[in-house]
A and B are shown apart, each in its own frame.
Chain A
Amino acid sequence: MIDVLDLSVAFGDVSVLEDVSLSVEAGTFVGLVGPNGAGKTTLLRAISGALEPDTGLVAIDGTDVHALSSRESSRLVSVVPQDTSLSFSFAVRDVVEMGRTPYRSRFSPPTVEDRERVADALERTGVERFADRSIEDVSGGERQRVILARTIAQDTPVVLLDEPTASLDINHQVETLELVSELVADGKTVIAAIHDLDLAARYCDELVMVADRRVLERGPPESVLTSARLARAFDATAAVTTNPVTGSPVVTALSGNARGGSKPGGDDANVNENAPARVHVVGSGSTAAGVLARLEAADIDASIGPVAETDVAAETARQLGIDRLSVEPFASLEAETMAALQREISRSDVTVIADLRIGAGNQLVLEALADAEPLLVVESTPFDDRNAAGEGARDRYERLRSRGVRADPETVVERVLDVCDEYSDVDSTAPDQHRPIESDDD
């Protein structure tokens, strides 16, 4: 349906797109994702025919769009622009009627079809309700729907949208994309630049990741949105999990640049050669979840536990496919679990304590950690708020804390790499002792 071939665009001597090729099947919803300034809008403008490319070709249904007249191309492609602020007090209905301009002849009144299309567009978008109000007097979300209604009235096989959900609240974002999905279901081909990766993943059949003036990757959302690609495209550390409600990928950006400052687009050669093979995390809550996500984004193998299956850290681990030692909430640790914990700690190159909560049931974890080396301590809540096991537990925790390396949730990956550097010459295998397991219920 849409074929982009070796497209290059430069503004002056600034190259914006270089040799971009892309083909889109009829009836698909393709999302353009990528960082600001990557060339998404430029690509859309070149496809729409508004921007003449320096080299390359854009064909829609086999016709070169740049060879078409405005009238011909406006019957093939409609565009929902990024900036839909209209500063003229046209009635909403008039704005929607403008969508029929490509079909109207100069002197005759609107045809039956013109009227039906406009009526249908007003109804489908729910714009009918305020069709007689001035476009200046409707809210941003309503205005966006008016422009969508105009596009529906224009009734073209190809619809291009530039950030249709930017500046909309969450409800209107979903509403807008649902409407666009309906158009796709009607057989229209849609390309939309979408800033919000989660929404893009949820609604688009395919994602095209544009970065660094070219198409970095394309395919189904699950295959495009991976930590490694996000790191390359956005120079950001991000964790990709699955939305439990929609089942589509969810991208969580974490603070700090990708891989402790490695360059975007850089290869795996940049990874520290002393990088740990495995890190075990002991802790719970969002702090532990954040540590796991960062480790995963930095491609460091991790495990967590013991952790209650209902804890957010356990959920994150499940989503990221990280090994976890799960236990029943508030239950006492069983011998089996303790043995498994010992095994994990001894297998790991680094052990991280992340906001560990101590209750009556899991005091033994502190003992197991006594031999863990090297040890990293990440805290975002004071220990007293996490301790339900009294003074004894406090003393043992303080001992761990004083010998461990302190790290912020944001810098945990760098600290992990640092301690690995230090220990790289030393045999850091933790002693493989088996301690007697006692139940300590009160």
Chain B
Amino acid sequence: MERPGRILAWSLGLTVLLLAVAVTSAALGPVRIEPVTVALAMLNVIVVPSGVETGTWTVPLLEWAVPRPTFEYSQVFAFEVRGSHQTIVGDIRLPRIALAATVGFGLAAAGTVMQGFFRNPLADPSIIGVSSGAAVGAVAAIAFPALVPIGLQSAAFAGAILTAFLVYAIATEGGRTPVATLLLAGVAVQAFLGAAISYMLVHSGESLRQAVIWLMGHLSNSTWNDVGLSLPFVLAGVLVLGAFTREMNVLLLGEEDAHHLGVDVERTKLLLLALASIITAAGVAVAGVIGFVGLVVPHIMRLIVGPDHRILLPTSALAGASFLVATDTLARAGPAEVPVGIVTAAFGAPFFLFLLKRREVHAL
């Protein structure tokens, strides 16, 4: 069989591309650093756990103390890199690049799933209101921090998951969730949440600017902590999705056909929706609403590798990671940094229109 080989070759190629984009991105900025130095500095960042210490962690709000293992890490490599360069690459640029890659990876994977799930080329990860829900949580946390004591990222994540659950619950009747109802429920809930966001923005006062920047998607001031929050959800989610690629293919034939081919349609739909929502929420919670990655990247990859999810899902995810790292590099390259959501939309929308005019995205 040549298919596993093809999947592996494409995935490896796109991983190499991602690394190349990451090194290039880390080399660019106010301080230019040689790519070789960048690569060495990046290797220096790699750590492995070398010891465990058990401490305690207090659950917010509930004041519960839970035992929590703390790992000690040690560096794998110790290349000679000038201290300031090591700091710039390892502590400033690399966390941002890693977060961009994580978010891009997750959004493109979730977009692939949603487009297949809805059999609709205009579907994107936020189609059932996940991003709007995250935005409500985030804007509430920014504008009224006293009312939302759980912090911005938790609020955004909770808002996203609650919205996805709400839309699913609205659209489900008698154990069935028709895709069209889900889509319409998503649109209606998004409109409602949009009104809530606008209301909060009007009354946000001093924090308006911060809220607007969050809404446009941003990766500035990213820390390794952000990466640590987002990456486990995204990686685990995409891995589980990877086990359901055959079901995704069969679902493309229509739900009744899928049932006749042995796919438990409603259960699979719920699982795909839940995973895509968690992945999207984990990305949006740390980076704000970044559009077009989840819409355009799966389309481009579908044109290149075809509709088979077994190859489409990994390649879309990897390409999404490269795409967001590259666009974020552009976002911070100018004299004044712009939110990355503006760059992805500015490049993604015209490209999408170009594809549309060439009539290549009329069908999935």
Chain A residues at the B interface, C-beta cutoff of 8 Å: 45, 48-50, 69-71, 73-75, 77-79, 81, 86-91, 94, 98-99, 101-102, 104, 106-107, 109-110, 154
A50 to B257, CA, bound (A): 9
| Contact partner, A70, options B4, B252, B263, B307, Cβ 8 Å | B263
Between A and B, how many residue pairs show CB distances below 8 Å?
A: 68
* Contacting residues, chain A, for B252 (C-beta < 8 A): 86, 88, 90
Q: Is B261 an interface residue (CB 8 A)?
A: yes
Return B279 CB to nearest CB of chain A, in Å: 20
Q: Is B61 an interface residue (CB 8 A)?
A: no
| Contact partner, B364, options A78, A88, A98, A107, Cβ 8 Å | A88
A81 lies within 8 A of B256 (CB): yes
Binds A, one of B8-16, B165-173, B242-250, B324-332: B242-250
* Contacting residues, chain A, for B254 (C-beta < 8 A): 81
Q: Is B29 an interface residue (CB 8 A)?
A: no
B interface residues, how many (CB within 8 angstroms): 23
**With A70-B265, A101-B250, A109-B1 given, is the CB distance from A88 to B363 under 8 Å?**
yes
User: Which of B252, B256, B261, B306 has the most A CB atoms < 10 Å from its CB?
Assistant: B261
B363 lies within 8 A of A77 (CB): no
A87 lies within 8 A of B261 (CB): no
B262 lies within 8 A of A81 (CB): no
* Contacting residues, chain B, for A45 (C-beta < 8 A): 256
Chain B residues at the A interface, C-beta cutoff of 8 Å: 1, 4, 243, 246, 249-250, 252-254, 256-257, 259-265, 306-308, 363-364
Q: What are 26 A-B contacts with C-beta separation under 8 Å?
A: A45-B256, A50-B256, A50-B260, A69-B264, A70-B259, A70-B260, A70-B262, A71-B264, A73-B260, A73-B262, A74-B259, A75-B262, A79-B256, A79-B257, A81-B257, A88-B363, A89-B306, A89-B307, A94-B249, A98-B253, A101-B261, A101-B262, A102-B261, A107-B243, A109-B4, A110-B1
* Contacting residues, chain B, for A88 (C-beta < 8 A): 252, 307, 363-364
* Contacting residues, chain B, for A49 (C-beta < 8 A): 259
B264 lies within 8 A of A74 (CB): no
Q: Is the interface of B mostly helix, strand, loop or mixed?
A: loop
A74 lies within 8 A of B256 (CB): no
Q: Which partner residue on chain A sits nearest B306 by CB separation?
A: A89
A98 lies within 8 A of B261 (CB): yes
A98 lies within 8 A of B249 (CB): yes
14 further contact pairs, Cβ within 8 A, besides A49-B259, A69-B264, A79-B256:
A48-B260, A70-B263, A71-B262, A74-B261, A79-B260, A81-B254, A88-B252, A88-B363, A88-B364, A90-B308, A101-B250, A102-B261, A102-B262, A106-B246
A10 to B259, CA, bound (A): 21
Q: Which partner residue on chain B sits nearest A74 by CB separation?
A: B262
A73 to B265, CA, bound (A): 13
A106 to B264, CA, bound (A): 13
Closest 9 CB pairs of A and B: A102-B262, A74-B262, A87-B363, A88-B307, A71-B262, A79-B260, A101-B261, A70-B264, A101-B262
Q: Which partner residue on chain B sits nearest A110 by CB separation?
A: B1
User: Which of B4, B257, B262, B265 has the most A CB atoms < 10 Å from its CB?
Assistant: B262
* Contacting residues, chain B, for A77 (C-beta < 8 A): 260
**With A50-B256, A88-B307 given, is the CB distance from A101 to B263 under 8 Å?**
yes
Return B299 CB to nearest CB of chain A, in Å: 13
A78 to B257, CA, bound (A): 9
A78 lies within 8 A of B264 (CB): no
A87 to B246, CA, bound (A): 17
A406 to B137, CA, bound (A): 85
A77 to B243, CA, bound (A): 25
* Contacting residues, chain B, for A101 (C-beta < 8 A): 246, 250, 261-263
* Contacting residues, chain A, for B259 (C-beta < 8 A): 49-50, 70, 74
A78 to B254, CA, bound (A): 15
Return B246 CB to nearest CB of chain A, in Å: 7
Q: Which partner residue on chain B sits nearest A75 by CB separation?
A: B262
A94 lies within 8 A of B308 (CB): yes
* Contacting residues, chain A, for B261 (C-beta < 8 A): 74, 98-99, 101-102, 154
* Contacting residues, chain A, for B4 (C-beta < 8 A): 109
B249 lies within 8 A of A90 (CB): yes
* Contacting residues, chain B, for A102 (C-beta < 8 A): 261-262
B260 lies within 8 A of A78 (CB): yes
| Contact partner, B260, options A74, A90, A106, Cβ 8 Å | A74
* Contacting residues, chain A, for B263 (C-beta < 8 A): 70, 101
A313 to B243, CA, bound (A): 68
Return B363 CB to nearest CB of chain A, in Å: 4
* Contacting residues, chain B, for A78 (C-beta < 8 A): 260
A110 to B308, CA, bound (A): 16
User: Which of B249, B250, B307 has the most A CB atoms < 10 Å from its CB?
Assistant: B307
A49 to B261, CA, bound (A): 12
* Contacting residues, chain B, for A71 (C-beta < 8 A): 262, 264
Q: Which partner residue on chain A sits nearest B260 by CB separation?
A: A79
Return A45 CB to nearest CB of chain B, in Å: 8
A78 to B56, CA, bound (A): 57
* Contacting residues, chain B, for A50 (C-beta < 8 A): 256, 259-260
A353 to B299, CA, bound (A): 71
A88 to B306, CA, bound (A): 8
A57 to B306, CA, bound (A): 42
B306 lies within 8 A of A90 (CB): yes
* Contacting residues, chain B, for A70 (C-beta < 8 A): 259-260, 262-265
A239 to B196, CA, bound (A): 70
* Contacting residues, chain B, for A91 (C-beta < 8 A): 306
Q: Which partner residue on chain B sits nearest A156 by CB separation?
A: B260
A81 to B255, CA, bound (A): 12
* Contacting residues, chain A, for B262 (C-beta < 8 A): 70-71, 73-75, 101-102
* Contacting residues, chain B, for A106 (C-beta < 8 A): 243, 246
A79 to B256, CA, bound (A): 10
